[in-house]
Structures are given as C-alpha cells and as structure tokens.
Amino acid sequence: MIQTPGTRVRLTSLSACAGCAAKVPASELARAIAGLPAPTDPNVLVGISTSDDAGVYRLSDELAIVQTVDFFTPIVDDPFDFGRIAAANAISDVYAMGGTPRTALNIVAFPVESLGTEILAEILAGGTSVASAAGVSIVGGHTIKSDEPKYGMAVTGTIHPDRIVTNRGARPGDLLLLTKTVGTGILTTAHKRELIGDRELRPAIESMARLNDRAAAAMLAHGVHAATDVTGYGIVGHGGEMARASSVALAIDARSVRLFDGVLDLIERDVIPGGTRANLDDHAAFVQYGDGVSPALRVAMSDAQTSGGILMSLPRENAERVLADLADLGSAAIVGEVLDGPPGAVIVR
C-alpha cells in the first residue's frame, strides 16, 4: 500500500490482530517459557513465576526499579490516538505494581517505504504526549522496518522494595474493584469492520488513552493487598492469574462490571475479536459460570482489553474509599470478592 497525498490510511487495515488482542494466548506462552531457568539473583524481587505485570529489581535497601515492556499493532486508525493508547498501556504496568514511572524507550516497527514518516511522527507524538503527562522521560528507542506497524515502550519506574504491589496478595474476604469500563476489544473490532462509527468508539479511545495514575494512587492510599492491570487476557484471565498467585478463588459479579454501550448487542451479532475467542478457550480450564450469566456476558468477561483498568483486591472496609477517590471518572466499580476456594478458580456469577 502506497500512501498518496490527500489520502488517509486506516492503520487497523494493516494489522491482522489489534492492540492487546495480539498477545500470544496465555496457555501457549506458558508452554514456551516453561523450560526457561528462573533468575537466581536475590535482588530479583519479582520475576516471571507469578505472571505479574512487571519485573522488580532491588538496587538498595531503599530503592528498586520496576521494568516492563509492551507494544502492539494499531487498535485505532488515528496515528496520534494509537500512540497515546500504546504509551498509556505500557506505563500502566508500573502503576499496577505501585511504582512511579520514570523513563521510557520507544519500540517501533513501521513500513516507512509505503507510509513515509509523517504517520510515524504522529504516532510518536501521541506517545510523547501521554509520557509527558505521566512525568516519563523518553530517552531513546529502537526502530525497524516492518510491513505491519507496531508501537510501544519499554518503561522503567522506581519503588521502595518494601512497598511493591503484586498480584499474589489477595486475601479471602477482600473486595475486588476494577477502575475502567470493559469492552474495548469488542468496540474496536466493530469499528474495524465498519459496524460502528467514530462517535461510538470515542469513549473507548479516551478510556484506553487515560493513565492509571489516579487508580494507583488510590489503591496505595487505602491498603491494597494485590493488583493487576486488565489487558489482553480480559478480567477473567488476569483475575485468574491473581487467584493462582494468591492461592485463592475469585468471584466476579458480571452485572457489576461496567461495559461500554452496545457491547453486549455487538457480541450477540458475533462481533468478537480473535484474541477474545482464544481467551474463552483458555479460560475454560478454570472459570465457572453461574446459571444466570448469559453467553454474551461470558464473552465480555473474557474480552481482550487494551490499556484497561487496574483490578485490585482490597480490605472490604477500604473499597468504598477508593470508589470515592475515583468517583469523578465514572468508571470504577466493585466487581466481586475473594474467596477461600479452589486456588486459581474464577467464578462468574
């Protein structure tokens, strides 16, 4: 495809999978890394063993670094919005660990010969705008040529070694709180298929481009026990990782999870991204559905999110305080509870 003056390329037309729906299914990834040796350095405080959001390495008794990397194919057509979303998504992993993001490196794969550099410049500008809002300095990066555009960041943050938030601290009796609305995978797929317009997609774009900084501040202020951000494996998938890491079960109240307008109707029309279908297959091994959970709601609970909210496990008495701190965002909700049940089980009711 050659871009000509006056034409606007639909970035999503250049990718087979969009956003975090492009992630390798969790079960396949687990098989791929099963034979890798675990780090033996005692300063590795968080590694890959619990499928957490980022790695943490201790530099001193007072300081550790949080490291993560995330990149993906275009989930929206506007280059600036794509850059914003990719940056917010990458930075979110540091917030989910309770850290403060500091620096980032851009990661770019782009068809320069066919699209030129103007679109790439817009993508990078979008990423820079979000990084700036987060107080993150972009200090470099790496770029390769590719027929399929990809963009993201490697992000480094800082944290005190004694104040790390992981996905393995959920306790029976905790409430589960999710800070963003769900359904970005369904809506972006519908837009790619030209079943909805820009106006219907705009709320999802703004949600994906919004930093999780306030959510992180609220959870730290009110005694969070465990947290993870909800991205490509959906609320059930990332909830399952939390349940396994914490040796507990999670109960998710499907009707309490906030969904974007039109999501269930689109699912009933079979507008379901490939990543979400892969999630449904993977999640069958550990999820249990109540009789009243409709097929469409089951899909929504496994929908592959991009730059989703933080799922946190909090003492029951503190959850309402977090809701109050985030009330003006209009998207945070208590979505379930932690049970002393089969370790790793997710019950959707």
Which residues belong to the active site? 20
**308 closest CA partner among 344, 282, 279, 337:** 279
Task: Tabulate helix, strand, coil % of the chain (nearest 5).
Answer: 40, 20, 40
Largest CA distance in the chain: 61
| CA 23 and chain centroid, separation | 11
Residues near 296 by Cβ (< 8 Å), separated by ≥ 6? 264, 267, 268
Pair of tokens at residue 338: 């932690």
Q: Which residues pair with 310 in a beta bridge?
A: 229
Pair of tokens at residue 348: 């959707």
**287 closest CA partner among 235, 228, 337, 246:** 235
| CA 202 and chain centroid, separation | 18
